[in-house]
Amino acid sequence: MACCICRRIWEDIPVINNRLDRLKLDSGEKRSFISAHIKVEEKHKDLYRLDFTLSGASATKSSIGTLLLQKLANNPENWIYTPQTRRLDSQEVLSLAQSWIKTCIGPGHKNCPNIGINGLQTPPQRATTTASSNATFYPTRLIKLGFSNDLNVKLVVTRNFSHRNEDSLEEPTQQYVTLSHCWGKAGNRMFCLNENNLELFRENGIPLKELPQTFKDAIHFARRLSSEVKYIWIDSLCIIQGDKDDWLHESTQMYQVYMNSYCNISATSAMDSSQGLYVERNPQHLWEENIDLNTKDLSKTRADSKDHSQDLRVPIQRCSIMDPSFWDRKVESAPVNTRAWVLQERLLAPRVIHFCEDQIAWECCVMEASESASSGITKFELNSGAIKNKVPFKSLMAPLGDLNGSSHSELDDAHENWNRIIERYSMTNLTEANDKLIALSGIAEQFSTQIRAPYIAGMWRNKYFASQLLWRVKTEYKNGNLFYSSRRPRNERAPSFSWAAIDAPQGIQCGETQEDKNLWITVMEVDVKPQPKPNSEFGLVSEGGFIRISCQKFAIVIEKRSRKVEGSVQDDMFTWTLAGEKDGDYENMHPSVYLDSPRDDFIDICGPHSSMWLVPAYKSSQGDLICLMLQRDRDDTEKFFRRGLSTITGLRGAGNTFLEEINGDSNLHIIRIL
C-alpha cells in the first residue's frame, strides 16, 4: 500500500498526462520529472507547505499538487481513524455518521439546530423567534419508511393543497430526512410521482424493487440512521411531476422542506439515480497518517537558521498530513454539487451526509469532516496558489436571528456572504434555464430576515444596491487561450443588469460591497416586479423591469484583437477605445474587458456602429476604475442594456485620455437600463 502522499499524486496522473502533452520538450524526449519542495508557511503557525512540480526536458514547469504538514502537539491521546470496511453500507460507516450527528446536535455546535420536543428541529440556541423557525413544519407529502424488512414504502399526505380533496391525512410527529441527487439526462427519467399513480402510491405503497438504486439505498440508510427518523422526502416522489400548479406551490416552500429536516442525504458522487450510494473502496486508502519531518534548514528566514555542522542531533517534528484540495475534489466538484437546486439544499439543511466516490463526508455549520479526516478536515484551502483560511460553505448561512440588520458591520457581513453564495451558485447547472431565480428563492427568503430590503432579481434594494450592479463574468483560460462560455438565455428571465440574466459556467465575480454614496452613479428608480402568486416574491420576475440611473457616459468602440501565445497568434481578446480615437493607439486601448456573453452579443456590440457606451461607476480599493459597458437601444436613446464590465487599472492612470475625459466632463445623463 502506497503512502498517502504517493496516492495523492497517483490520483492526479490523468491530469499530469494532459499537462505532459502540453509541455514543450526541446530534445523530443518524453521524459518528465516530478519534484517536491517543502517550506515553512510563514503566514500560518506550525504549518509546512509541500509542493509537487512536473518538469519536462525544457524549462517548462507545471504545479500538480500541494499538501500541508501540520505540527502535532505532544498529546498522548492523539489517535488515528483507520476504517476497515470495503462498502459504505457497513455498520462502521453508519456508526461514524451517527457520531457526527450526536456531536452536531450537542452543546458544542451552537450554530447548528438541535433536537427539541418530540424529536422536532429547534433553531440554534442564539436564534430569535421568526416566522421561518416553525418547528412543526412538514412537507405536503412524505415517503413513510416503515420497518427495515418492509418491501414497500408508502406515500403519505400531511395537508390538503389547492383543489385537491385529499383525505386520510397523516399527522407526523417525528423526523424526516431529505435526499439530494442528480436526475440524470432528460431521456433517462427516473421513477416519478404523477397524477396517474398518486392514489396507488398512497393506498398500496411503492415497491422498493421498482425504485432506482439511489432511492433504495437512501431508504435503507434512513431506516437505520435513527429511531427518530420515520420519513424521507425525495423531490421526484413527493412533487407531482407534470403538474405546474403543484410544482409552483412546492417550490415556494422548498426552503422549509430542507431547513426543518433531520439531515440531508446527498448522493454526491452519483451521476444519476441508477448509481446508488453504496460504493466499494479500499479502506486503507482512507487511513489518516502522521509523519516525522526533519525540520533542519526549514527556518522561516536565513537569520533563524542555525549551524548544525557540529550538532549530530536531527530536529524531528511529528506532523499530520492535510490535503487542502480534498473538499473541492471530493465534494464541491462532485456531480450532485454542480446542480443549482442542490446548492440551496446543502445550505438550508441543518446537516449533510455526503456519499462520495470512496467515503462518506460530513457538513454542518460548524464542521466539515470525512472518513479520512474524521475529526474535521483542514481549516486551510488553496486559493490561486496561496494558502488561505477556509470558510465552511454552510457557515455563509448565518443562524436565524443571528443578524438583525441593525449593525452596519452585520449588514456588510450579510452582503458579503450573499455575494459568496451567488458566485458559487453562478457556476451550477439547471435543466430548466428559467429556474435561475426560483432555485435560489429559499436562500433569498432566509437572507431577507437579515438584510431586510426589497429583493430585486437576485440583488437587494438598499444602500449597497448600486455596487451590486458591478458584477462581471470571470475570465476563462483553456490551454493558454481565452475562452468564452457564458450565454444569454433565449427567453428573458431577469433584466440585463442582473447577474441572473447570464449563464456563466466559469462563474461570475461580485463587485466590492460599497455604499451608494461612494459610487459615481446614482440609482433614481427601480421598477422590477415579481410574477404574481403562486410565484414567490423571491422567484420569477415579470418582463420589462428596469432601473433609472444618473451617470456620466462615453461613447466607445469595442474590437476583437489578436495576441501572441507561446509563439502562436490567438484572435481571442476584446479591447475598447473612446469613439473617435485613432485605432491602434496602445495608450488609449483598454484590454480589461469582461463581456457578459460575447457569443450572443458579438455582432451587435463590436465595431464603430454598435452604439456602445461606457459608464464610470467606482474606483476600487486597488485603485482600479470600474465601468459598466452598455449598449443603447437603436430606437430609444434613453434605453440601454448591460453588455459587460471594464476595469482601468490604476497603473495606467498617467497620461490616460479617458481619465482626463472623466475629470473634465461634469455632464450627467439620466438613462434606463433594462
Decide: helix, strand or coil at residue 93. Answer: helix
Asked if the structure places residue 201 within a domain, the reply is: yes
Asked if the structure places residue 372 within a domain, the reply is: yes
DSSP string, 134-177: -TT---SEEEE---TT-SEEEEEE-S--TT----S-----SEEE
> What is the length of the chain?
674
For residues 20 and 96, membership in a common domain is answered with no
For residues 473 and 601, membership in a common domain is answered with yes
Residues 322, 516: Cα–Cα separation, whole Å: 43
For residues 20 and 104, membership in a common domain is answered with no
Asked if the structure places residue 306 within a domain, the reply is: no
Give the range of the structural domain holding residue 47, as residue numbers without chain letter: 1-71+288-301+313-322
Decide: helix, strand or coil at residue 239. Answer: coil
Q: What is the pLDDT of residue 251?
A: 87
Domain count, the chain: 3
For residues 14 and 162, membership in a common domain is answered with no
For residues 198 and 67, membership in a common domain is answered with no
Predicted TM-score (pTM) of this structure: 0.89
Asked if the structure places residue 308 within a domain, the reply is: no
Tell me which residues of the chain have a pLDDT lower than 50. 23-27, 116-119, 125-135, 163, 187, 300-305, 402-403, 405, 654-655
For residues 636 and 671, membership in a common domain is answered with yes
CA angle 44, 47, 50 (to 5 degrees): 120
Residues 6 or more apart in contact with residue 382 via CB below 8 angstroms: 66, 324, 325, 388
Decide: helix, strand or coil at residue 443. Answer: helix
For residues 66 and 97, membership in a common domain is answered with no
Asked if the structure places residue 576 within a domain, the reply is: yes
For residues 318 and 335, membership in a common domain is answered with no
Strand-pair category, 669-673 with 639-648: parallel
Sign of the dihedral defined by the CA atoms of residues 598, 333, 467, 589, in that order: negative
Q: What is the pLDDT of residue 143?
A: 97
Q: What is the pLDDT of residues 347-381, one digit of tens each?
A: 999 999 999 999 999 999 999 999 999 999 989 98
For residues 211 and 292, membership in a common domain is answered with no
CA 427 to chain centre: 7
Neighbour count for residue 537 (Cβ, 10 Å)? 17
Asked if the structure places residue 167 within a domain, the reply is: yes
Asked if the structure places residue 466 within a domain, the reply is: yes
For residues 171 and 262, membership in a common domain is answered with yes
Asked if the structure places residue 77 within a domain, the reply is: no
Distance from first CA to last CA of the chain, Å, rounded? 61
Q: Which amino acid is at 627?
A: C
For residues 43 and 145, membership in a common domain is answered with no
Q: Which residues pair with 670 in a beta bridge?
A: 550
Q: Which amino acid is at 239?
A: I
For residues 101 and 132, membership in a common domain is answered with yes
